[in-house]
């Protein structure tokens, strides 16, 4: 676990996530907020020094809907029916659906500024 890694190395961890691992890591961050509601920021500061997102589909992927609805094979040697079946039975499919609101209304950013 991250806590064991930090204890062993005596310094915060560097997190590198690839593709859907980024969505899993974001889910983890929300879980930490629930586990440590009063000091989750302190937990992150003491356990994670940096986070690198590689090929992160943080806003989802439009191709996921295309595959789920039409069974688009994306060039793979599969039937469209098989792809539709995969998309409706694999639990990871909905994790890749596009998010509808990329800028939350509870943003702490001052009005009129863009995130960097």
Question: What was the pLDDT predicted at 48?
Answer: 94
Express each pLDDT in 70-108 by its tens digit.
888 878 898 988 888 888 888 777 778 877 654 445 555
Encoded tokens for 69? 């609805």
Instruction: Write the CB contacts of 36 (distance below 8 Å, at least 6 apart in sequence).
Output: 42, 43
Question: What was the pLDDT predicted at 15?
Answer: 93
The answer to whether the pTM exceeds 0.85 is no
Q: Could you tell me what percent of the chain has a pLDDT over 90?
A: 30
Task: Return the C-alpha torsion angle 59, 26, 16, 7, nearest 10.
Answer: 170
Question: What was the pLDDT predicted at 45?
Answer: 93
pLDDT mean over 36-46 = 92
């Amino acid at each position: 676990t991250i806590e064991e890694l930090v204890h062993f190395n005596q310094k915060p961890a560097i997190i590198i996530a690839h593709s859907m691992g980024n969505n899993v890591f974001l889910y983890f961050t929300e879980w930490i907020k629930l586990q440590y509601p009063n000091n989750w920021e302190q937990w992150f500061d003491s356990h994670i020094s940096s986070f690198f997102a590689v090929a992160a589909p943080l806003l989802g992927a439009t191709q996921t809907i295309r595959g789920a609805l039409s069974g688009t094979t994306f060039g793979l040697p599969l039937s469209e029916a098989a792809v539709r079946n995969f998309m409706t039975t694999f639990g990871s499919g909905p994790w890749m659906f596009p998010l509808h609101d990329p800028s939350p209304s509870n943003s702490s950013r001052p009005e009129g500024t863009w995130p960097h």
